[in-house]
Every structure is written in C-alpha cells, then in structure tokens.
C-alpha cells in the first residue's frame, strides 16, 4: 500500500513539473515569465505578422532554421548596430543578422514576406528575462534606445513601426493613445525634442573605409558595435590609428585593419 501511494505521489509530482514547464506566451497583454527563467519549457506563442517589417523581442532564442519553419525561408532579420544624427534627423542603421537567428532578450526588426496572418511558434527552449533593450548614442549625444515590450505598453512619446509605414521599417512618433503589444519593440530618445527617424539597411558584414564617409580632417566621434563611445572629437584620419576592429562612424561601419 505504501509503495502504491509513493508511486502516485511521484507521478503527481512529475505531472505538476511537466505542467509548470508548458508556457503559452500572450502577444497581446504579455506573460509574466519570471518564475520560468532558466528553465527548459515547451513554449507556444501565436504572433500576428504583417506583410513587411515587424518588430520582435522574445524571452527565448530561435535559430534561423526554427524561424524558417514558422515564417518561411525568405524572411529578413536585422538588429540595430548604429545611429547617425543630422540635426533633427536620426538615421537608424540596422544590419542583417539572419544567420545568427534571434538572441533571447534582444530587439529586432523582421521582414515577413507571407500574407498577413497569425503564425504559431511552438518549440522547446530555455526561458530568459523578457527585458530587451539596446541603447546607442548619436554623435550629438542623443541616446537612442530600442526596447522590447514584455507587457502591453503605453505608446505615447515612443516611436514604433506603424502598419501603414512598415514597408521600409519607418519608426514614427506616437503622441496619441496607441499601445505596443507584447513581443513588439519601440524606440525612445533622450531629451524632450521630437526627431524624424529614418532607417538604413546594411548587409551582413558590411563595412567601409573611413575615407568613404568623411574627409580626413573632419572631426568625428567613434563607437564600437555595441554603441559605446570609444573616441570623441578626433580627426577622421586618426580613426585608422585605433586598435584593429569594426567601429561605427556617422552611422556606418568602419573596418580598421
């Protein structure tokens, strides 16, 4: 009898553990996933995709192959790698990162070529923190932050890709009662001024020479690919004296050999 009761208890514990590891993510209001962080879970997510550019921020990683199974082979995936300011205009530089897939807790833009529809994501994966943000600084000192909405978020004073402007991944300022639903991304800027945001798309691994961007005697600020400023107010020609690496100057990648 004791052995029988023990078997029942073990089975009940196994069932409970299994049930706790099944997570359905709401892409409308969002899902509190803190208790699952670090656990391997069977995740289900139904995400509405519009033909064209969509924003993405997920609390789990997906490979290129896993994404293909859901959105097809012709999708594009890009991450923010640089910002460049010209007065009231800020250029957002996104670079192709399709081969790397989606990294957990990181904001992206994804180009979907299929018909507008709800797509089902279902996979066994580890859950991480849903917080997703990336901050870059323009040469004029304006901080540009791209964040993922873990929960439904008030859209006022933020920039987002509206359905009517999604063919070029244009981020538009929101000053009304719009919201950002969970797993979408938005952009905020420091200060109180409203900026015009434009988008530039870079190919994977695209770099250039500093002489292709500015004159050798022009004064520039230099950033690494994480958006951290590594040099301030130096002549463009001196960029070539930095340690060999890939840098961002005026929103474009510069390769120093």
pLDDT digits (tens, 9 = 90+) for 97-140: 999 999 999 999 999 999 999 999 999 999 998 777 988 888 77
Contact 95, 200 (CB under 8 A): no
177: pLDDT strictly greater than 90? no
Average pLDDT over residues 17-25: 74
245: pLDDT strictly greater than 50? yes
Average of per-residue pLDDT values in the chain? 87
Residue 213, pLDDT score: 73
**What is the C-alpha to C-alpha distance for residues 99 and 73, in angstroms, rounded to an integer?**
12
Element (DSSP H or E) covering residue 77 = strand 76-86
What global pTM score does this model have? 0.78
Buried-exposed string 238-253: b where 16+ CB fall within 10 A, e elsewhere: ebeebeeeebbbbbbb
Residue 203, pLDDT score: 86
Q: How many residues does the chain have?
A: 257
Tell me phi and psi for residue 216, to 5 degrees. -60, -25
Element (DSSP H or E) covering residue 67 = helix 64-71
Which residue would you say has higher pLDDT here, 251 or 212? 251
Q: What's the N-to-C CA distance of the chain in angstroms? A: 75
Element (DSSP H or E) covering residue 5 = helix 2-20
**What is the C-alpha to C-alpha distance for residues 107 and 192, in angstroms, rounded to an integer?**
23
Among 1-15, 39-53, 100-114, 132-146, which stretch is predicted with the lowest mean pLDDT? Answer: 1-15
List the one residue out of 176, 147, 180 whose CA is nearest residue 163. Answer: 180
pLDDT above 70 coverage of the chain, percent? 90
Contact 246, 210 (CB under 8 A): no
Residue 20, pLDDT score: 56
């Amino acid at each position: 009898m004791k052995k029988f009761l023990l078997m029942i208890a073990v089975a009940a514990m196994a069932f409970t553990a299994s049930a706790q590891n099944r997570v359905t993510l709401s892409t409308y209001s969002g899902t509190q996933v803190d208790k699952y962080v670090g656990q391997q879970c069977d995740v289900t997510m139904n995400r509405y995709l519009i033909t064209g550019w969509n924003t993405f921020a997920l609390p789990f990683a997906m490979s290129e192959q896993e994404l293909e199974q859901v959105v097809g082979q012709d999708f594009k995936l890009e991450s923010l790698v640089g910002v460049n300011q010209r007065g009231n205009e800020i250029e957002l530089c996104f670079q192709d990162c399709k081969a790397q897939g989606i990294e957990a807790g990181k904001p992206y833009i994804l180009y979907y070529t299929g018909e507008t529809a709800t797509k089902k994501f279902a996979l066994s994966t580890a859950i991480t923190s849903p917080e997703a943000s990336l901050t870059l600084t323009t040469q004029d000192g304006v901080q540009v932050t791209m964040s993922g909405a873990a929960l439904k978020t008030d859209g006022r004073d933020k920039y987002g890709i509206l359905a009517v402007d999604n063919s070029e991944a244009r981020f538009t300022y929101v000053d009304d009662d719009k919201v950002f639903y969970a797993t979408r991304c938005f952009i905020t800027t420091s200060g109180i001024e409203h900026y015009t945001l434009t988008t530039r798309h870079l190919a994977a691994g695209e770099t250039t020479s500093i002489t292709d961007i500015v004159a050798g005697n022009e004064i520039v600020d230099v950033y690494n690919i994480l958006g951290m400023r590594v040099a301030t107010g130096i002549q463009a020609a001196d960029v070539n004296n930095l340690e060999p690496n890939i840098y961002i100057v005026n929103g474009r990648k510069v390769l120093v050999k």
